[in-house]
Structure 1
């Protein structure tokens, strides 16, 4: 089961290791983004943890886009979910000053929130990308709630959410334009997401720095 292969992207034409060279190699962007943001997370432990997960996202996605296996898909998606949950916890605790147990509870509420909103986005025709659409929606909510309390942080979150919407759009276009552009657009999802995640880590680290200044 875990070694079963499947073709989910425009660029792949067979099940050889390098059948998705652009999709595979653009995962280097996650590693470079992690190396870029690492010095900016000094003395912010959760930001450091996010940076490590950011690098793991690149490694896992590379495994998926080279092997095209079920285990590769898990290696791809598990670090992404880990990053989302870690960020929700950190943002809830440190942006709003909630106690740890309340922040954990809010983090766990992401699952029913995502399940409900995924159904909405699926009905709107987002397809498999509906699984990711709840994330920018939640970021926009956090940005709105912070607009008076921490304007710079709110603005940073809104920018990140907007870029993520663009990234999801590129993911959605991969299949529809495949006949016209055989390379597809999934690689843009990688490149934009690397920027988005590094930006989101920086927003969090900067907020902590301002609070402690």
Structure 2
């Protein structure tokens, strides 16, 4: 860790050091557990499509990347944190479009290009959490603490829930539950920095635990209804 430029975004971190965010780091176990849940369920009805295998691996990598960020707290681990998340979101959107809408692979590739472009533009426009951070010994100066970058994911989940509900699709209960959980987790992520004096531990660990549950619910929605 570069002690002069470590990234300090959350209440729990008060100084540089690998284990200065132990709860934020350890709470990432929720993502490998979500991946394991999906893998166990998927093996009950083989064969498992390659896309679902990739999503399960990405779910586990979300936890790995986030663990690295909350221990090393530097620029390259920030990328390890966000890349698996957005890769999971983008692939899940495309797989869902295919399953729910029956969209042909050719059209999915065109949609993939659009989805990718939108995500890149939004991420660059909203700014990374690091851009809002005081690299020396301060916290984020943004009232949203970098949470605006996840607005497209929340919008996508809301749309996904509405479409599956209106079509009476069996994925609907899972989608709605995942959307509600993500809304709660995003709230905990956003308010973390505002309550440091009252809650020195912060609330960011709830973002990990609830997001692990959300990812698990989304994977179950696909795994249990892929046929």
Could you tell me which residue of structure 2 aligns to residue 23 of structure 1? 24
2: CA distance between counterparts of 1:105 and 1:185? Answer: 39
Alignment of 1:155-174 (within 5 A): 155-174=173-192
Question: Residue 44 of structure 1 is aligned with which of 44, 48, 66?
Answer: 48
1:13-54 Cα offsets, whole Å, 9 max, x none, are 111110000001111121122122211123232222111111
Could you tell me which residue of structure 1 aligns to residue 81 of structure 2? 76
| Offset, 1:179 | 1.1
1:136/1:162 contact within 8 Å kept: no
2: CA distance between counterparts of 1:158 and 1:113? Answer: 24
2:145/2:193 contact within 8 Å kept: no
2:174/2:218 contact within 8 Å kept: yes
Q: Secondary structure at the match of 1:8?
A: coil
Relative distance call for 1:47 and 1:96 in structure 2 (3 A) is same
Q: Secondary structure at the match of 1:151?
A: coil
Could you tell me which residue of structure 2 aligns to residue 141 of structure 1? 159
Alignment of 1:173-192 (within 5 A): 173-192=191-210
1: CA distance between counterparts of 2:168 and 2:67? Answer: 37
| Offset, 1:94 | 1.3
> Are residues 1:66 and 2:108 paired?
no
Could you tell me which residue of structure 1 aligns to residue 8 of structure 2? 7
CA RMSD of aligned residues (A): 2.1
Alignment of 1:85-124 (within 5 A): 85-111=90-116, 113-114=118-119, 115=121
2: CA distance between counterparts of 1:167 and 1:29? Answer: 13
Residue ranges of structure 2 left out of the alignment (5+ in a row): 127-142
Relative distance call for 1:103 and 1:31 in structure 2 (3 A) is same
Could you tell me which residue of structure 2 aligns to residue 122 of structure 1? none
Of structures 1 and 2, the one with the larger relative CO (CA 8 A, separation 6+) is 2
Tell me how many residue pairs correspond in the alignment: 203
Residue ranges of structure 1 left out of the alignment (5+ in a row): 120-124
